[in-house]
Amino acid sequence: MNKEEWLSLIEKKLDLLTEDAKKEELKKLENTFEQLKEEEKNITSIEKIQKEIFLNRGINPQKIMTKKGWVYKHLEELFEGIHNIVESMSHNSKKENIKIIIDLLVLIFFICLIKIPFILIRNLGESVFTIVEIPYALEIWSLIIDIIYIIVAIMVFINIFTKWLKNLEIKKEINKKGKSLQGITLTKED
């Protein structure tokens, strides 16, 4: 990651600051980039820098994020994660990219398995409404069950995907001839 990319990622993380405050903090950080070790120039260190800046300015991001809303917060994490995956895949070997794709396919398969209990509940409700013979009850029941499934599936996908992304780190290694990307690895959080 070069200096411009690093500063751009930090700028995105400082979305709670005014433009002037962002510029002020970025000016302070411009000289910091050269002093950092290569391992410290990753997403985790950027999040630490963000938290430190917010603490110094008396901002509690958790309170503000709850004001933005749960859906907004998780969608923001999801899109940021997708961006990180695409960026890291561009630097990975074919084998590592296949591993990422297989992990995502397993996640999608798991989401499909969640549908089974919803189908059973829908069929059970339809058999009850067939006996009762209430007009449009079958359609309304099916629609409600499908909407609940979609909401649950999206929540599960976002939660698993964001947890998976937090374990995904980009590791770099400096060769004698220059920089080379070692690839992404999954690390276990303690």
How many domains would you assign to the chain? Answer: 2
Q: Closest by alpha carbon to 116, among 81, 85, 149, 92? A: 149
Same domain, 4 and 80: no
Q: pLDDT value at position 47?
A: 79
Tens place of pLDDT for every residue, the chain, 190 residues?
677 777 788 788 887 788 888 888 888 887 777 776 666 666 557 778 888 888 888 877 666 555 556 677 777 777 777 777 777 777 777 887 788 788 888 888 988 899 999 999 999 988 888 888 777 888 898 899 999 999 999 888 888 877 777 666 443 333 333 444 444 444 555 4
**DSSP at 2:** -
Expressed as residue numbers, the domain containing 169 is 69-190
Same domain, 169 and 85: yes
Same domain, 134 and 111: yes
Q: pLDDT value at position 50?
A: 82
Q: pLDDT value at position 174?
A: 34
Q: pLDDT value at position 146?
A: 92
Q: pLDDT value at position 22?
A: 85
Same domain, 102 and 38: no
CA dihedral 65, 68, 73, 75 (to 10 degrees): -170
- The Cα–Cα gap between 96 and 93 comes to 5
Same domain, 126 and 183: yes
- Structural domain ending residue among the three candidates 31, 51, 68: 68
CA distances from 56 to 21, 26, 48, 60, 170 (A): 12, 14, 12, 10, 28
